[in-house]
Amino acid sequence: MTDIARSTRVVRTRAELREALGGLPRPIGFVPTMGWLHVGHRSLMQRARAEDATTVVSIFVNPRQFGAPSDLEQYPRAEARDVEICAEEGVALVFAPAVEEVYPPGFDTTVSVGAVARPLEGAARPGHFEGVATVVAVLFNLVGAERAYFGRKDYQQLLVIRQMARDLAIATEVVGLPTVRAPDGLAVSSRNVHLSPAERVAAPVVHRALAGAVAAWQRGERSADALRRMMSDALAGEPLANPEYVSVADARTLRELEVVEAPALLSTAVRFGSTRLIDNEPLE
Ligand code: AMP
């Protein structure tokens, strides 16, 4: 590990976290992650570092937000490298708990967010957002940060967490930040590591499909069905892409639209082999 890496403290228990937080200057900016850190995570840490006196990152692959056990097992992990990245980004504290530390024996509460959690990813991945809302509620309470930073790449997740924090009177402000992309447009994601070379070449079609619909909207297209069809057609042109859904929804409620008037969100989930990618673009 590098010299700077040593200035980042790694704690694993609730007690260690509490003790470490007591000595750190406020405000605290919190970046929850599942590790395998990349430039998308770095952008969140950089914003926290610019806005807050202390940056805290959590690294926790949350079993409750995975459906298939194989998906959880295959989720990539590289903690030592992650801690080095945190150190490079000036992170003071990394919370990397074991599963039993987050969910101690007897843990028996589920946080279930309503309407905004139901469509899209909520429909495609039953239980996913309950897992997300539950772990983020626990982490928010343990860290007690002034602000927490999330990527708009997981746009619905951002809305679900905002709703959860508001409804549960959690004082942490939820900040959403833009999606970081590779030069070819592919949204950076820990899951991209599972793409085969041919799938990696094909994957930018996801963003091209979204960008094509954004361009049509900018030219005046307001029919949501026309925009959905454009995205579907673009994805159909790539044999390795298996779309799960294409959506044109109200950006606040995620209800599907007929006519794009208010701020809207284009989003899609596409499988490449066993790898499932999601991406979105706002229309605003
Ligand atoms: P994850 O480790 O995948 O759970 O992601 C942790 C946080 O990083 C979430 O708030 C994600 O939305 C965010 N994130 C993941 N990928 C990106 C990206 N390409 N750009 C911006 N934020 C991202």
Establish whether 41 is a catalytic residue: yes
Cα 272–Cα 273–Cα 276 angle in degrees, nearest 5: 50
Q: What is the pLDDT of residues 255-266, one digit of tens each?
A: 999 999 989 999
Q: Tell me if 156 CB under 6 Å of ligand 1.
A: no
Could you report the per-residue pLDDT of 71-107, keeping only the tens digit for each? Answer: 999 999 999 999 999 999 999 999 999 999 999 999 9
* Local structure of 209: helix, strand or coil: helix
Q: Which of 153, 158, 276 to mutate to test the pocket of ligand 1 (most atoms within 8 A of CB)?
A: 153
Rounded to whole angstroms, what are the CA distances from 235 to 153, 205, 209, 240? 19, 6, 6, 9
pLDDT higher than 70, residue 67: yes
CATH architecture of 3-177: 3-Layer(aba) Sandwich (3.40)
Ligand 1 centroid to Cα of residue 6, in Å, is 25
Is 190-283 CATH 3.30.1300.10? yes
Q: Quick one: pLDDT at residue 262?
A: 87
Average the pLDDT over 102-127 and give the result. 98
Q: Where in the chain is the domain with CATH 3.40.50.620?
A: 3-177
What pLDDT was estimated at residue 6? 55
| CB of 187 sitting under 6 A from ligand 1 | yes
Statement: residue 207 has pLDDT above 50: yes
> Is 148 a residue whose pLDDT tops 90?
yes
Domain with CATH 3.30.1300.10 in the chain: 190-283
- Checking if the pLDDT of 3 tops 60, the result is no
Please report, rounded to a whole number, the percentage of residues in the chain having pLDDT higher than 70: 98
Pocket test for ligand 1, best of 31, 33, 37 (most atoms within 8 A of CB): 33
